[in-house]
Structure 1
């Protein structure tokens, strides 16, 4: 899929995506309305030759690939071939690993829930004694809250960790454990593009997971100075041009940063803030600025 024909000497922007959903369609429409040439690149059909550009017809790529491994390797390969990728390979890799994200947030001085990485199930039980119950165990790589399990006490943790130890693959045996914040039935999603907070929404659901893709509901949230500071700081900490920053409030109203998403889904956000902001327009504007640097 492409928009208007490319004129001689004009840069073309690629949108990397193996799945075209509602957000990608909004982006395509934003390109079309501006008459900006773009190319939809299905990453499932891509291959790269080391040390060569491969005759790419684009200079900048927006990475919307849903598969974390494909997204990271596509970004690395295109960057090596001289293509500017947004978000960068480094940001994609950091955001795609919860422990690396936590480390980046901590190094930036941002408040986060108490978190530990245990290299074995035995050490995970020791870490949980320090963090305290109730807690959560999360996979290092994953989205939409998949495989996030609450741990109410040591007996429950032992049962879950026994299962974790039997999973295939060495990375699956690592335990990312985090205190369970007693939140007021909601969390906050802010979207940052080019160092600017576009807005924020409250997300609520019937379980721990408030992801819109899983049925979570959204409503507008005022962007306070603290939300703006933490959101921009989180995006900067992981090196992301475009980021969905997830924050949470504890019962005392203290704000904490949970994670940063490099491939931000904005359907629910857009629905809640329809009259206030057009996310796709802001993303395209940012890409055009990057293309002309």
Structure 2
């Protein structure tokens, strides 16, 4: 657990995009209430209302209403590594850190990182409109084409031909993608919720209508109990990454073994709350409080 030196008057920001905050009012209220119960000063602000840059040769951070001059930490529920870096350089500790945001919100970078740990995954290639060569494919159709900066399964496409790949690349010429072999068990995956160095829950997500099992896209969900070897595999990831609160997603091969899929930096908790009595908000605020070492 990372330690943050903070005096009793220290304050924290809970940072969301406005549109994301509208969809996550329940979890926001849980976090704010748990902060109050644990005597943590926490204020919700929207990313769009924060101005940051360099003023008078010094890094700056301002908000039109709130005084952000004495902020000690920020709970980042938005994806903006540049903002996270700015906060960290202003001595504001971010949960999760900027480097976690940089790794986990780019699928190609995530796969590079996880491959370095020797974690099993599907064969994957990094492609773009400029680099893709349809005459030299190492995979067989169907394949899965994923936008590198996509989230929640919304920028993931099942492709059956070179023409389909080219159409999507030409449609989004400035985006980078990963091209991946099709999973043995489509429409099924496992999400593992990790807080610091502890697994706090896992769920099995399934869909009978799509190869994407995301709960927010209509998939069903039920609790999943990780066995010892699966826990060891997950542990190799979180012990290396050293994030604060993430979701790690796995696919399954024909034998039922885990294959790494992706990491959610701003992890949603609906599936965890719907299948267990785990209070993720309370655990997260307790984790943050224990990470704060008063002078």
Give the TM-score range, shorter chain: 0.7 to 0.9
Equivalent residue, structure 1, for 2:183 = 181
| Residue matched to 1:56 | 69
Q: What is residue 95 of structure 1 aligned with on the other side?
A: 104
Show the counterpart of 1:78. Answer: 87
Aligned to 1:29: 33
Structure 1 residues 2-17: aligned runs within 5 Å:
9-17=8-16
**How much does 1:126 deviate?**
4.8
> 200-209 or 13-22, which moves further after superposition?
13-22
Q: Distance in 1 between matches of 2:261 and 2:166?
A: 22
Do the aligned partners of residues 160 and 52 (structure 1) sit closer, same or farther apart at CA in structure 2, a change above 3 Å counting? closer
SS in 1 for 2:138: helix
Instruction: Give the distance between the partners of 2:146 and 2:187, measured in 1 at CA.
Output: 20
What residue in structure 2 maps to residue 3 of structure 1? none
Match of residue 224 from structure 1: 227
Higher RCO (Cα < 8 Å, 6 or more apart): 2
Q: What displacement does 1:63 show?
A: 0.2
Higher helix share: 1
- 2:138 is matched with 130
Corresponding residue SS for 2:108 = helix
Determine the structure 1 residue equivalent to 2:65: none
Instruction: Evaluate the alpha carbon distance shift between residue 211 and residue 116 of structure 1 in structure 2; reply closer, same or farther with a 3 A threshold.
Output: same
Superposed, which structure 2 residues align to 1:70-219 within 5 Å? 71-120=80-129, 123-126=132-135, 129-152=137-160, 156-169=161-174, 172=175, 174-183=176-185, 185-205=187-207, 206-219=209-222
Q: C-alpha displacement at 1:117, in angstroms?
A: 0.7
Gaps of 5+ in 2: 1-6, 62-67
2:150 touches 2:156 (CA, 8 Å); kept in 1?
no
- Cα displacement string for residues 89-114 of structure 1 (whole angstroms, at most 9, x for unaligned residues): 11101111000000010001111111
Q: Does 1:288 align with 2:289?
A: yes
After TM superposition, give the deviation of residue 124 of structure 1 in Å. 4.4
Aligned-partner SS, 2:71: coil
How many residue pairs align between the two structures?
Answer: 273
Distance 1:126 1:93 in 2: 32
Equivalent residue in structure 1 for 2:249, among 234, 246, 249: 246
The match for 1:5 is none
Return the alpha-carbon distance in structure 2 between the equivalents of residues 187 and 126 of structure 1: 31
Q: For residue 261 of structure 1, what is the aligned residue in structure 2?
A: 264
Moved more, 232-241 or 97-106: 232-241
Unaligned runs of 5+ in 1: 1-7
CA–CA distance in structure 1, aligned partners of residues 186 and 217 of structure 2: 19
SS at match of 2:282: helix
Q: Deviations over 1:128-158 (max 9, x none)?
A: x313332111101011111311123xxx232
- Partners in 2 of 1:164 and 1:229 — Cα distance? 38
Q: 1:135 touches 1:180 (CA, 8 Å); kept in 2?
A: yes
Which stretch of structure 1 is more off in the superposition, 278-287 or 20-29?
20-29
- Report the CA distance shift for 1:160/1:264 in structure 2 as closer, same or farther (over 3 A): same
What is aligned with 1:4? Answer: none
Say what the alpha-carbon RMSD is for the aligned residues: 2.1
- Structure in which a larger fraction of residues adopt strand: 2
Deviation at 1:166, TM superposition (A): 3.9
Equivalent-residue separation in structure 1 for 2:238 and 2:28 (angstroms) = 21
